[in-house]
């Protein structure tokens, strides 16, 4: 992995042939809520990368079942859940969302979060 733009753009390693170098580009936003950013561009977010990893390891589990694959899936679910909980707390949008199969839940097409101000509100057990 080589960083092109800290926190936002990376060149990934390529294995079994060097025909191209895959890139991983995260969205970059500009403004008061995004200190140190200069400029902006579209891209993905960490949550979607975890969804990809979960899907990939589910596929690997079908090829060669392993207890470790199960742990890897749950570790990525926990990471995805942690990103969502952080966003909910930051924006004061609730207090709990279940990590169970979190990668399959609908998410906002603008920000990528399961719960956001302008998109989906799939809160569970919301406190009054």
- What is the C-alpha separation between 123 and 26, in angstroms, rounded? 26
Write out pLDDT tens, residues 43-57. Answer: 999 999 999 999 999
Residue 66 φ then ψ, to 5°? -155, 140
Model confidence band, residue 68 (pLDDT cutoffs 50, 70, 90):
very high
Q: Return the pLDDT at 125.
A: 37
| pTM for the structure as a whole | 0.82
Q: Tokens 């097409």 correspond to what residue?
A: 109
- What is the C-alpha separation between 108 and 116, in angstroms, rounded? 7
- What is the C-alpha separation between 114 and 72, in angstroms, rounded? 21
């Amino acid at each position: 992995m080589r960083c092109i733009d800290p926190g936002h753009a990376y060149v990934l390693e390529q294995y079994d042939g060097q025909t191209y170098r895959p890139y991983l580009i995260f969205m970059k936003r500009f403004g008061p809520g995004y200190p140190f950013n200069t400029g902006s561009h579209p891209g993905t977010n960490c949550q979607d990368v975890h969804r990809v990893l979960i899907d990939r390891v589910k596929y690997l589990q079908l090829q060669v079942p392993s207890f470790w694959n199960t742990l890897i899936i749950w570790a990525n679910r926990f990471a995805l859940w942690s990103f969502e909980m952080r966003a909910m707390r930051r924006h004061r949008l609730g207090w709990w969302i279940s990590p169970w199969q979190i990668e399959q839940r609908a998410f906002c097409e603008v920000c990528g979060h399961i719960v956001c101000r302008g998109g989906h509100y799939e809160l569970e057990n919301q406190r009054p």
